Structure 1
Amino acid sequence: MKVICAGLPKTGTKTMASALRTLGYSVYDAPEQLLKQRETWIEIFDGKHDKNIFKKMYKDIDAVADLPACAVWDQILEAFPNSKTFGTSSFPVYLAICRIMSNTLYRIWLVLQKSREACLGYFANTFHINEMLARSAYRRHEAYVRSVCPQDQLLVYNVREGWEPLCKFLDKPLPEEDFPHLNKNSKILYSDLGLPALEELIKEVKRETRQRAQILGVCILGFLFLVIFALLMM
């Protein structure tokens, strides 16, 4: 683990993940964490692991961004004390609403909800966000990042600043391509279904749907058999 993005959701995390990939880092953004690590994250939020679990989870990963990791970024930093940390600066907007459609999506929703509670506090359990309380929670998070992370390992950064401060901080040459700007107005939630991680989600949901249909079919046949048997015995 070389880079930890401590910024809360909707503070440029998707843009940061894309920029870090452009610079050659392997990145676990929210889709990778939720799809590949969701059961471990549920165990983490249930108190079944300490910070040492992150050494196993991210031993082959260069960078992490967004939920759920940003909720416990300081614990990840303790597991990887030489990592550089970004405090992405931009007041967040929390608008995502998840509809539970299967066990897979429910488990993802569970991780998201627990992450939200860890980041925002008690008022995160509703779909209505109190902007005043959200702003206070955001400021507490940003102040905590500044106070805990060693100053020589921290860059408080707004993605509008582009490549120059990012590359200078990471000691990387400036790329020739334009700086990415992703997920404006949460568009990734609706339009980027081509992402490998989301394709994996779709396959898993379809696989679970087929399995449940097969189980339901067996149960129905069993019930019909019992009904016929009971009628014959009358």
Structure 2
Amino acid sequence: MTLKIIGSGFGRTGTMSTKLALEQLGFGPCHHMLEVMQNPAQLAHWSAIAAHRPVDWESVFAGYTSQVDWPGAAVWQQTTKAFPDAKVIHTERPERDWWFSFNSTISKFFTHQHSMDLPPHIRDTFQLMSGWFLKETFEDHTDRDCAIAAYRANNQAVRDLIPADRLLIFHVADGWEPLCDFLDVPVPDTSYPRSNPRDEFWAHFGREPS
């Protein structure tokens, strides 16, 4: 099994809904941050990646057909070379909407993680992520202008580096049609998955810190 789909969009751009949609379309299992949280064996791969050591990308994504969300989205420039036949789905949403969602979930979590009662594996995972892609991606993830600048830069880099015939700029609000057309699969006779509102995000960690 090898990656057929690479997701390059930041977290909070509809990546959980996209994961569910891809799995429904037959492109599963789909790698997502949840997979890292639920599988302690994943941490060794991402520790090596965070240290910028060479890795076998086939091993990192062994068992997965597709990938969306961080941490995979932080290495799309490497994975698009490692899996040259994979299509790229770049999830986006309006900058203001993305910042509001990111600031009230991911950014807030990283700000408060040290004071939260987390299982050891979850604590270790996010300590790794905060010292790696969060630090390398955002000059200051708590500052609106800095965060949006990083978001905007990633969106542009994907457009600049990925050939148009390999790339789908995807807004989950558009539903099944553009995704199925890009992947050349039939449109399901069901509603497009909707998932991961703010309360669902915090449920993974027990509660939202005050």
Q: Same fold (TM over 0.5)?
A: yes
Rounded Cα–Cα distance in structure 1 between residues aligned with 2:205 and 2:193 = 15
Deviations 1:36-76 (A, max 9, x none): 312210121112224xx212222431101111110111101
1:116 corresponds to:
134
2:163 corresponds to:
150
Deviations 1:72-127 (A, max 9, x none): 1110111001111011111322333132534322211123312322332x313xxx
| TM-score when normalising by structure 2 | 0.82
Q: How does 1:37-56 map to 2 (within 5 A)?
A: 37-50=42-55, 53-56=56-59
Q: How does 1:23-62 map to 2 (within 5 A)?
A: 23-26=25-28, 27-36=30-39, 37-50=42-55, 53-62=56-65
- Amino acid across the alignment from 1:110: Q
5+ residue gaps in structure 2? none
Rounded Cα–Cα distance in structure 1 between residues aligned with 2:127 and 2:198 = 23
1:75 corresponds to:
78
Number of aligned residue pairs: 186
Rounded Cα–Cα distance in structure 1 between residues aligned with 2:180 and 2:199 = 26
RMSD: 1.9
| TM-score when normalising by structure 1 | 0.74
Deviations 1:176-226 (A, max 9, x none): 111011102252331698xxxxxxxxxxxxxxxxxxxxxxxxxxxxxxxxx
Q: Is the 8 A contact 1:155 1:169 kept in 2?
A: yes
| Identical positions, percent | 26
Whether 1:175 aligns to 2:188 is yes
- Amino acid across the alignment from 2:133: S
Higher helix share: 1
SS of 1:4 mapped into structure 2: strand
Rounded Cα–Cα distance in structure 2 between residues aligned with 1:105 and 1:57 = 18
1:184 corresponds to:
197
5+ residue gaps in structure 1? 194-234
Query: Using a 3 Å threshold, how does the CA distance of structure 1 residues 186 and 154 change in structure 2: closer, same or farther?
Result: farther
Divergent runs of 4+, >6 A: none
Q: Is the 8 A contact 1:2 1:63 kept in 2?
A: yes
